[in-house]
Amino acid sequence: MKLTKKELRQFLLTHSREQLVEWLLGVAKDSSDFKQRLDFYAGTHLSVEAASSAIADSIDQFNALFSQGRTLKVIEIVKPAQFLLESLRACLDFGPTKEVPGFIEKMMVSLDQLIGQQPKPANRLEELQREFSTLHLRAVKLFPPDPAALAESLFQLRSNATANIAPEAPGSYAELLGQVGLARYRELLEPTYQVVVHSHPVDRRSRRELKLFANRRVMLYEWATISEDVEEQVAILLAVARQPEEVLIIAGFLDARLRPMDALQVVQKAFEKSHSPKLASFLAHRYEAQTQFAEALPYRWYLFENAPSKDAFSSLMQAAGQSRQTTFYRDRAMALTAEKAKTLHVELLLREARLGEALNHARQNGAAISSWAKLAELHAIKDPRLAIELYFDCVEFALNERKEGYASKPDAYVSDAWHLAVDTATFQAFNARLRALFAKQKLPETFTAKLVEAGIPVVKLLQ
């Protein structure tokens, strides 16, 4: 039988205080865990000093886990850590003592080391660490330490951590730290600031040193988010930025402070240091918004060169047209696609109505079905026989595409060819290709039915 919490409450309320005392003592006698908790909670009411001593002993026992010479299972860590978390909460609730913040910090350090020893992520341990971090913030609010000492304590906790100790620092502690504590925290970060901002090499450091540097780099970033010195904020944020998205966040930060030119310069410097499509796109759009099309062109060209497409070509040509450099960039783009993006090259030739060149290039290097269909459509009046041949080429391409999972409709191309051939001198050309198609490969079951629905007398033509 498993009773609900409400049912258990009702059961306990039916007993007298004396009966409950005897019952609890009996449970404690048979359960070491329950006896430990009962001893502690009783101690918090009877003697603060005794409670502090009991916690200190429990923390020593917890730290003794390290000396076992083996990797502990998560469950072996969770049980004593959970008890200590409850004990420290009880100290704050019933037996407040100024020693509690220090006890919590010791537990955070020990738990961090145990998390670091785990062969894979331990979500439950990290959750416990967050609970200890929350409790630490509560404890120092109850017993505010010297601001400079708190800054030093937080710095040591964060900088030496394997996992994420006190993630709220320094932001959530700012009021407790005050100007003195924040200044001390920033002073402790100064060596890291000098390394990061001036890009001093760190590749010859030991693994431990690299870990410490990585921690402090994150701490420096978090400091920047609360600093009231905008110039220092920008210097730090830009120095620690490693990804284009981070640089764009800084640009947004500057835009929000009505400093668009600074945002532009930040992104431009980042792009010069490490090219990125995201940064180039930002720069191109920003310059175009300022009607500085000539300045936008290098970034439009980079975007096209990096990922040639019709859209990228259109954007390039628009900027080139506004700066009267259309011919130069069109020729440059055509040369690039002829060599490196041959399918796109056909599309661009068609876009400029250079049919002969487009057809020759498609035959030599291949093209997308849409380009072959466009070639057929554009030849329909000029050379219907050739258009029919091209439409049937599209049919075969489309059938192969369907085998690979694409969705082109080959029957539509046959229908287009039929409308050109019916009652014209090109009928025989159509019929020859239709017969060859049916003789060449197995067609989809619905293919013939769709052609009949389109008005093509397939059965009669194939007799």
Q: From start to end of 377-425, where are the E strands?
A: none
**Whole-number Cα distances in Å, 2 to 7, 13, 146:** 10, 18, 51
What pLDDT is recorded for position 9? 80
Q: For the chain, give every domain's residue range.
A: 17-143, 146-156+174-240, 382-463
Tokens of 238: 């830009």
Q: 3-class DSSP state for residue 200?
A: coil
pTM beyond 0.85: no
Name residues whose C-beta falls within 8 Å of residue 22's C-beta, 6 or more positions apart in sequence.
none
**Distance between CA 170 and CA 163 in Å, rounded?**
16
Name residues whose C-beta falls within 8 Å of residue 273's C-beta, 6 or more positions apart in sequence.
none
- Please report, in tens digits, the pLDDT of each residue of the chain (463 residues total): 576 777 778 877 787 787 777 776 766 566 566 666 666 666 656 666 777 777 787 788 777 776 666 777 888 888 888 888 888 887 787 766 788 888 888 888 888 888 877 777 778 888 888 898 889 999 999 888 899 999 999 888 888 777 667 767 788 888 888 889 988 988 998 888 887 777 655 555 566 666 666 777 778 877 877 777 777 877 787 777 778 988 898 888 888 888 888 889 889 988 998 899 999 999 999 999 999 999 999 999 999 999 999 999 999 999 999 999 999 999 998 889 888 888 888 888 888 888 888 888 878 888 888 888 888 888 888 888 888 888 888 888 888 776 544 456 788 888 888 888 887 888 888 888 888 888 876 777 788 888 888 788 877 888 7
Contact 194, 226 (CB under 8 A): no
What pLDDT is recorded for position 406? 46
Return the residue matching tokens 């994420």. Answer: 164
Tokens of 370: 């849409």
